[in-house]
């Protein structure tokens, strides 16, 4: 049996063809020359160029030069450059969601996604040197080291994300600017945090990278290190002067808040040992690190924060819940709720700037039966009405504005998360009915002119999620108390 390689088969056919430069490409936007370049077939690329395939053909996926640079094919890159192709040749302007911005060949040489990092681990030193040599060649031929573009904003961003200190050092030596325009994940230093490489972060900081630059997906380099769950990176940044309580934009109000979200007790300990404020007021949907831990059901984190001085019964100035106890009630963790009550949280504290008037209202609204029982046992008042004087709103925070803030913060995706749990609509309805029974039972034989606010609140659900619950059940249950 005889075997022929693809090169032999294709070259034999193409030698009799006059012109093959056509616009056809695959679903990724790659034409034949780009595919041959990607596969490192120098002879096929030479034949295609001879047949007038354009090296400069640009698509949303890039061009042949970028394909060669991406995979570290130095000989191909050199061949394309010998054809008088600019090292700064960019991709097509036709960019869409499927084909993100690719930048230039230098950015391609520095780019490395998650799958490519795995490939590099397998191919080892050869693959790393291939990209480094390609980057050196492109720079020697005049590639602009700071040309914007690429998946991550600049070649330096890409190199930092790839975690290759040799490539980062090369770009810095050639004049790459730190603290330039941000990529989707933030600054060059933030990308280095994602790579988990201390040596790359060290190089960037030595060149003047701003350690407290704000932005990116997680707000700061320190927050990125927390996200990677690497205590050594957190300690390194703190040793270099990172501001520990810097207010962060986005989902996490501080580095400690992020550690609470990730449930990384070891990192939280490091942050607090370095002076993180456990009582820091946060402009997030939770308002404090303790409230977030209580809502997410992180019991050990709650206990740790309380032991470190977090105040349990202090009203929160921001967020949806108003107190850590209400956050626990909304999250549905009865162990945390009981722990907070035992530590001094008051079941009847009025929450004047929150969605729910008391912790009981939060438990009732989200349908957490065990939390309702625990709060009732702790003395929570069923008839804690909206007309009670304690619910007078401060003039600077109108009730309408509070409601608007709540609806702006809570999306349907958020509503489908932790508070509802894994319950379907039928299970939620059963829980609601049990809660209504508990509330009516607690009201006893006192004749109310109308159901208590808490009782009516027990059928108040998001219209987007559970619009079909029958509020007539309340009237039936309350009627039974009137006739008792």
CATH 1.25.40.20 domain extents, the chain: 1-151, 154-276, 278-438
Q: Which of 456, 435, 401, 473 is CA-nearest to residue 329? A: 435
pLDDT in tens, 314-337: 888 888 888 999 999 999 999 999
Would you state the CATH architecture of domain 1-151? Alpha Horseshoe (1.25)
CB atoms near residue 421 (< 10 Å) = 14
Is residue 307 pLDDT above 70, yes or no?
yes
Which of 47-51, 170-174, 459-463 holds the top average pLDDT?
Answer: 170-174
| Choice among 163-167, 221-225, 424-428, 433-437 with the minimum mean pLDDT | 424-428
Mark 430-448 as b/e (b = at least 16 C-beta within 10 Å). Answer: ebbbebbebbbebbeeeee
Question: Looking at domain 154-276, which of 1.20.1530.20, 3.30.565.10, 3.30.1330.60, 1.25.40.20 is its CATH number?
Answer: 1.25.40.20
Mean pLDDT of the chain: 76
pLDDT in tens, 355-389: 778 898 888 888 899 999 999 999 888 765 544 44
HSE-up of residue 245 (Cα within 13 Å, Cβ side): 13
What topology is assigned to 278-438 in CATH?
1.25.40
pTM: 0.77
The predicted pLDDT at position 473 comes to 42
Q: Which of 17, 27, 143, 168 is CA-nearest to residue 89? A: 143
The predicted pLDDT at position 320 comes to 86
Between 129 and 187, the more confident residue is 187
């Amino acid at each position: 049996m005889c075997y022929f390689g693809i090169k032999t088969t294709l070259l034999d056919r193409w030698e009799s063809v006059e012109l093959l430069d056509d616009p056809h490409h695959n679903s990724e936007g790659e034409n034949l020359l780009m595919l041959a370049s990607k596969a490192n077939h120098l002879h096929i690329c030479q034949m295609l160029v001879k047949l007038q395939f354009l090296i400069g053909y640009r698509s949303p996926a890039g061009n042949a030069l970028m394909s060669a640079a991406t995979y570290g094919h130095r000989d191909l890159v050199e061949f394309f450059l010998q054809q008088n192709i600019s090292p700064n040749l960019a991709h097509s302007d036709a960019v869409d969601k499927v084909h993100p911005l690719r930048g230039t060949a230098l950015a391609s040489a520095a780019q490395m996604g998650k799958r490519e990092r795995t490939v590099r681990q397998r191919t080892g030193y050869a693959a790393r040197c291939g990209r480094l040599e390609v980057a050196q060649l492109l720079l020697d031929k005049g590639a602009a080291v700071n040309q914007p573009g690429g998946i991550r904003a600049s070649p330096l961003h890409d190199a930092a994300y790839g975690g290759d200190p040799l490539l980062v050092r090369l770009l810095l030596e050639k004049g790459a600017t730190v603290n330039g325009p941000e990529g989707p994940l933030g600054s060059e230093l933030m990308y280095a945090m994602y790579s988990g490489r201390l040596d790359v972060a060290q190089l960037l900081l030595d060149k003047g990278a701003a350690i407290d630059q704000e932005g990116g997906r997680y707000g700061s380099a320190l927050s990125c290190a927390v996200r990677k769950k690497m205590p050594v990176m957190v300690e390194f940044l703190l040793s270099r002067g990172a501001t520990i309580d810097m207010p962060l934009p986005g989902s996490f109000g501080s580095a400690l808040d992020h550690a609470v979200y990730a449930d990384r007790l070891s990192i939280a300990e490091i942050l607090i040992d370095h002076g993180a404020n456990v009582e820091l007021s946060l402009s997030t949907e939770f308002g404090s690190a303790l409230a977030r831990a209580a809502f997410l059901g992180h019991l050990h984190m709650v206990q740790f924060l309380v032991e470190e001085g977090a105040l349990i019964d202090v009203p929160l100035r921001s967020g949806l819940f108003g107190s850590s106890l209400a956050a626990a009630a909304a999250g549905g963790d009865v162990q945390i709720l009981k722990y907070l009550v035992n530590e001094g949280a008051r079941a009847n504290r009025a929450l004047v700037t929150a969605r729910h008037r008391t912790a009981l209202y939060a438990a009732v609204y989200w349908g957490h039966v065990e939390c309702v029982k625990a709060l009732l046992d702790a003395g929570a008042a069923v008839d804690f009405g909206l007309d009670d004087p304690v619910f007078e709103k401060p003039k600077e925070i109108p009730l309408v504005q509070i409601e608007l803030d709540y609806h702006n913060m809570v999306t349907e995706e958020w509503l489908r998360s932790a508070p509802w749990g894994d319950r379907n609509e039928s299970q939620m309805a059963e829980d609601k009915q049990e809660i209504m029974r508990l509330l009516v039972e607690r009201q006893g034989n006192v004749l109310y002119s109308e159901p208590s606010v808490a009782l009516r609140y027990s059928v108040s659900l998001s219209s987007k999620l559970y619009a079909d619950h029958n509020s007539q059940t309340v009237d039936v249950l309350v009627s039974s108390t009137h006739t008792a």
